Structure 1
Amino acid sequence: MKLLILGGTEFVGRAIADEALGRGWEVTVFHRGHHPAPPKVTDLKGDRTASGGRAALARGTWDAVVDTWWGAPSAVRETARLLSGRVGHYAYVSSRSVYAYPAPAGLAEDGPLVDGSPGDGDVDYARAKRGGELAAEEAFGERALSVRAGLIIGPGENVGRLPWWLLRIARGGPVLAPGPRELELQYIDVRDLAAWVADAVAAGRGGPYNLVSPPGHTTMGGLLAACVRATGSGAELRWSDPEAVLAAGIEPWTGLPIWLPPGELYDTMYRGDVAKAVAAGLRCRPVAETVADTWAWLQGIGGVPPQRPDLPRVGLAPEAEAAFLRG
């Protein structure tokens, strides 16, 4: 396989590049040069948002392209048009955010979607991802694959959600653990996403797929317990009712990463139907493996995770946590 990755130097794109290289594929990455490209790839540089920024893509043929772009859909449209006669399939890494909110529990790929346009410029994240899907479909039709990922964690994470929990628990002491302990989570290890995408483009799959683990792959309790085991810390998890956490003004998702209390947003994020992806070969590794490997990666880079510049840092301030635990 000859694979072109639009991106390919950070988190999701890098995981897909590593997966493809591990399969012996010929990999080309096209990126802005902010981060080093993986070894053993053909390295093309350019900025899709700049005049003439796609010049490096004007020549070449590939079996498939994987696009990890998260910005203006118009950049996807122009790139897809440029490649349409020279690429077999176009896989766009989208998001389950494209579903109209609130998405009920059990929603499959045929659920109602947000409005979006392939010609949109800078719009909110949900509309941008939907517009990106439409841009890929406009140029590639049934040869366009929309990978609707949910929460993505694992080694290389540059958002900081799982790294925050690992680093907090590694410090030890009493830790605010938001309940309920049995709260089911739905996420995807970035390496499992990469493996599924590689299989899908090799098989020529098209259309939308929800790509997260089946609901209940782990629980909040299972995740945090895995963090305690991986770090080997003496942290004491202090489980607290979600009502008390919210009453204290502590924000789900941002203040306490990954955690969402039961309700509409929880159903939207953590109760999606993934039967279609499972039937197409989705395999999800145990949470303990994801957590342990992420901790090993963090230690290997000195304990300071990378941070996407377009996103705020997540995590509860130590003084706020201490104040809550004091009651």
Structure 2
Amino acid sequence: MRILVLGGTAWLGRAIAAAALAAGHEVVCLARGRSGSAAVGARLVVADRDRPGAYAAVEGARWDAVVDVARAPAHVRGAVAALEADRYVFVSTGNVYADPSIVHADEDAPLLDPNGVPADGGEAYGMGKVACERAVQETYGDRSLIARAGLIGGPGDPSGRSGWWPWRYAHPAADAVLVPDAEARPTELIDVRDLAAWLVATEATGVFNAVGPEVPLGEHLTVARRVAGFTGAAALAPEPWLLEQEVAEWAGPRSLPLWLADPGWQGFAARDGSRARAAGLTHRPLAETLRDVLAWEETQPVHPHGAGLSDEDERALLRLLRPST
């Protein structure tokens, strides 16, 4: 097949291009080229989707598939108007849902209003993705695949969310690792390679929650400990205490990644992914994902990056949590 990847030089786009090349397809990536290089074997067309004529170099061709990871509705509207393809694959997000508190919600759950006024930056992102989805569906209809991705992780994860725990267990800041006392909280990590391979291989159309298997946080951390070879202690911190200390949930600076205490967000890490699994989405063992992301983290010059606690922050929190030790 001839596949056009809109993007293809950043993490997910490059993984999609690499999966398509590994399957024997011809791959062209259209991108500004500022995020990195295209996958080896792909042809890079340098273009800026913010500028007129962005698709001039590729719009005369007929593509078997276009894969788009954009977040800007204007980018998607321009692409669906300019490009001819047998199918259009759009990578969306679980942020499109109006109520992230609902656990195990499926693809028919209500969406955000793309024309509404966002309450925060996360809502603005979700609203933009809803508008992108609608642009794809209005033009391509039943020739489109909308993949609402959950938390994507694995080697190359620039957010630090999937790599921080195995890295922390491999490089503890003290005699114990600080963990939330929240073993039952859900996680749903999907390996970037599994997502990319499915997007390339599936012939399914429609809307899918492309999420990983639901794994309790405690089990996820046990796997991270194991792949890192950590044999030390865990310092369990109550969730209210962590919030009082202004430790962030989920991601970002001074955070404990993957941990979600807010009841308004429990569904974000526990969506129903059965429709995608029925359409062929498969998952490698979590241990493989965490082992590979740890190997990648060991090559990175700065830790934490994107998410996690610095050594100094963690040691300070441990002193507060265990004042007599």
How many Å apart are 1:82 and its aligned residue? 0.3
| Residue identity in the other structure for 1:61 | R
Deviation at 1:303, TM superposition (A): 4.8
2:201 maps to what in 1? 199
CA contact (8 A) 1:181 1:239 kept: no
- Which residue matches 2:288? 289
Amino acid across the alignment from 1:66: V
2:74 is matched by which residue type in structure 1? S
* SS of match in other structure, 1:161: coil
Deviation at 1:273, TM superposition (A): 1.2
Instruction: Confirm or deny that 1:319 pairs with 2:318.
Output: no
Q: Distance in 1 between matches of 2:31 and 2:91?
A: 16
8 Å contact kept, 2:13–2:69: yes
Tell me the CA shift for residue 322 of structure 1: 2.1
TM-score (norm 2): 0.88
1:96-107 aligned at under 5 Å gives the runs 96-107=94-105
Partner of 2:106: 108
CA contact (8 A) 2:164 2:304 kept: no
Matches within 5 A, 1:292-311: 292-299=291-298, 301-304=299-302
Q: Please state how far the C-alpha of 1:59 moved relative to its aligned partner.
A: 2.4
Residue in 2 that maps onto 1:223: 220
Whole-Å Cα distance in 1 between the matches of residues 96 and 289 of structure 2? 26
Cα gap change, 1:25 to 1:304, in 2 (>3 Å): farther
Other structure's SS at 1:145 match: strand
- Unaligned segments of structure 2, at least 5 residues: 116-120
Consecutive unaligned residues of structure 1, counting only runs of 5 or more, are: 308-312
Does structure 1 residue 279 correspond to structure 2 residue 278? yes
> 1:176 maps to what in 2?
178
- Aligned letter for 1:248? Q
1:321 is aligned with what amino acid?
A: E
Q: CA RMSD, aligned part only? A: 2.2
Report how far residue 102 of structure 1 moved. Answer: 3.5
Match of 1:65 in 2: 66
Fraction of identical pairs, as percent: 38
Question: Alpha-carbon deviation of 1:103?
Answer: 4.2
Runs of 4+ residues deviating >6 angstroms: none
Q: CA deviation at 1:233?
A: 4.4
> In 2, Cα distance between the equivalents of 1:306 and 1:60?
44
Map 1:136-175; keep pairs closer than 5 Å.
136-172=136-172, 173=174, 174-175=176-177
For residues 115 and 260 of structure 1, the distance between their equivalents in structure 2, rounded to whole angstroms, comes to 24
Aligned to 2:39: 38
Give the distance between the partners of 1:222 and 1:102, measured in 2 at CA: 23
- d(CA) in 2 for partners of 1:274, 1:38: 29
Q: Deviations over 1:76-101 (max 9, x none)?
A: 01111101xx2110011000110102
Q: CA deviation at 1:304?
A: 4.7
Q: CA deviation at 1:143?
A: 1.0
Q: CA deviation at 1:234?
A: 5.0
Instruction: Summarize the Cα distance change of 1:306–1:12 in structure 2 as closer, same or farther, 3 Å threshold.
Output: farther
Q: Return the letter of the residue paired with 1:53.
A: A
Whether the 8 Å CA contact 1:213–1:284 is kept in 2: the answer is yes
Q: Is this contact kept in 1: 2:101–2:263, CA < 8 A? A: no
Contact kept in structure 1, 2:88 and 2:144, CA below 8 Å: yes
Report the alpha carbon displacement of residue 109 of structure 1 after superposing the two structures with TM.
0.6
